Structures are given as C-alpha cells and as structure tokens.
Amino acid sequence: MKYVTEYRDAALVRGVVDEIARVATRPWVLMEICGGQTHAIVRYGLDQLLPPLIELVHGPGCPVCVTPLELIDKALAIASMPDVIFCSYGDMLRVPGSARDLFSVKASGGQVRVVYSPLDAVEIARQNPDKQVVFFAIGFETTAPANVMSVIAARSMGLKNFSILVSHVRVPPAMHAIL
Amino acid sequence: MCLGVPGKITELYEKGGLPMARVDFGGVFREACMSYVPEATVGDYCIIHVGFALNLLSEEEANETMALLKEISDFGSELGLDAEGTPTAI
C-alpha cells in the first residue's frame, strides 16, 4: 500500500539506526514532549532499536494531545451550530471526542476552517459579520500569547462576532512532576 | 501548530493596528505578527510560530538551525527519501 509499505523497509530503518549509533558517542537522555510521539515510539518499538547510550524519557504531552475530552466535545457541539464558523489549528481536526472529531463535523456540513494563525480567524470574523466565529485556542506558553492577541485584535477592530474556546496548558509544572 | 521555524524579516508594516512583517523562510514568504518582538528590524532573523515572531535569532543561530534542517533533508535523500520524508524509490 502506497505510503505504508515504503515505511516498513527494514534496510531504510537499519540505515537510520546505524547512523544514530555512529553519532551517539556518549550517553544521551532525550525527552519527547508530544504524546503522539510517545505512542508511535512505543507502538513500533523504536525505543528498542536505539543504541543503549540513548535513553528516552516520555514527556508531558503537547497541547493537542492533552486537550481534555470534555473540551473537544464542547468544540464539536459549537462547530455543529448552524451560525458558527469554527476555526482551529489543523492538528486538532482528527483528535477524537466522545463520539466523533472535528473532521467528521466538517464532512457532515459543519463550517470548520483550518487556520495557520489566530489572526486568520479574526480576518474570517471580519469577513463574515453575520456568523459567529469561534477559534479553538489551544496551546502552551509559546502559543497562548498568539491566541490572546487574536482577542486584542478583534476588540480593536470592534468585532462583536469573535470568541475563543480556551484550552491553554503550562509545561514547567508537568515537567517538574515527571523529573 | 507545534512548529517554530526561523525566517528573515524582509519588510515591516502595519495591518489592522498590528505590527506585521513579511518573512522569508528559505524562499517561501509568509506574513507574521511582530507584536511580541517590537525591536525587530528588516534583515533580522526570528523564530515564527503560528504566525507570530517569538524571539530574535542571530544570523549565526538561524543559519545553524537551517543547516540542521538541511542535514536532515540531505540524510533523507541519502536514504532515498524526499524532503517530506517520503521514500522516492518505490
């Protein structure tokens, strides 16, 4: 199957593993932040392929994978409303809620739009004064300021149809708990 | 969204009351908001995340990051992968 079998090529994998072994000349402790990465590493046994000098520590999860189920369900309910344009970073579209995901809401006719920047959502609100535009503001320390700036921009433009569904999380407390 | 990419500021302007920039990511140009890095000037390098500049980089740091990205891409082509990590020889 295209894009599946090519990735299961033992020779390719061996090439990468050999290169890692060649450059790993002292002990390394690496932490992956994202739970999606942890899932892939454990599922495919990548940790067992690595040379013993490399130790993997599983991190706290990223804003995408630690978004509470309750909030995803809220997002799905809002996105399904007829007068709403729901804007989200693309990563969130396939994160499952209790029964479905944003992608399936979009497929069944909901107005779900992928934005690159929170300011794109503000622009959509400006162009659609007859709709309520809701931005799914997920993120940790690096993303929260960008999300918040969308509110400041919407207010300074006098928009009344823009709101955000907030799910901001902090990394350092989770890191302290793990380490 | 979990990406921060270095780019070079080629133009600064205001849009909707916000300071914005045109940023060159190795030949691909995107708009970014400069609200959090007001000291930036044309020619500076910065890390862009979800359309916002997070911080300034020295040219040396930016080149180092870009060289690392290129190294990953070159290593991929040695293994028969394209720039996206997709095998080219199928």
pLDDT in tens, B49-85: 999 999 999 989 888 888 887 887 777 676 666 655 5
A163 and A78 both lie in a single domain:
yes
Residue A93 lies in a domain: yes
A92 and A36 both lie in a single domain:
no
Per-residue model confidence (pLDDT) at position A148 = 96
Residue A84 lies in a domain: yes
Task: Tell me the mean pLDDT in the region A51-59.
Answer: 91
CA distance A139 to A70: 16
Total tally of structural domains belonging to chain A = 2
CA distance A8 to A11: 9
The answer to whether A3 faces chain B, any CB pair under 8 Å, is yes
Domain residue limits at A106 = 69-168
Q: Do A90 and B1 touch (CB under 8 A)?
A: yes
CA-based end-to-end distance of chain B: 30
A63 vs B contacts (CB less than 8 Å): 1-2
A89 and A123 both lie in a single domain:
yes
Q: Do A89 and B36 touch (CB under 8 A)?
A: no
Q: pTM of the prediction?
A: 0.81
Domain containing residue B30: CATH number: 2.30.30.140
Chain-wide mean pLDDT for chain B? 85
Per-residue model confidence (pLDDT) at position A162 = 98
Total tally of structural domains belonging to chain B = 1
CA distance B64 to B77: 20
Residue B64 lies in a domain: yes
Residue B87 lies in a domain: no
Helices (H), B31-87: 59-78
A153 strand-pairing partners: none
Task: Tell me the mean pLDDT in the region A18-32.
Answer: 92
Q: Is residue B66 within 8 Å of residue B30, measured between CB atoms?
A: no
Q: Do A64 and B1 touch (CB under 8 A)?
A: yes
Residue A106 lies in a domain: yes
Exposure string for B50-62, b = 16+ CB within 10 A, e = fewer: bbbbbebbeeeeb
Segments of chain A assigned E as strands? 28-32, 54-58, 84-88, 111-114, 132-139, 162-168
Segments of A9-161 assigned E as strands? 28-32, 54-58, 84-88, 111-114, 132-139
A108 and A141 both lie in a single domain:
yes
Quick one: pLDDT band at residue A61, thresholds 50, 70, 90?
A: confident
Task: Tell me the mean pLDDT in the region A72-100.
Answer: 94
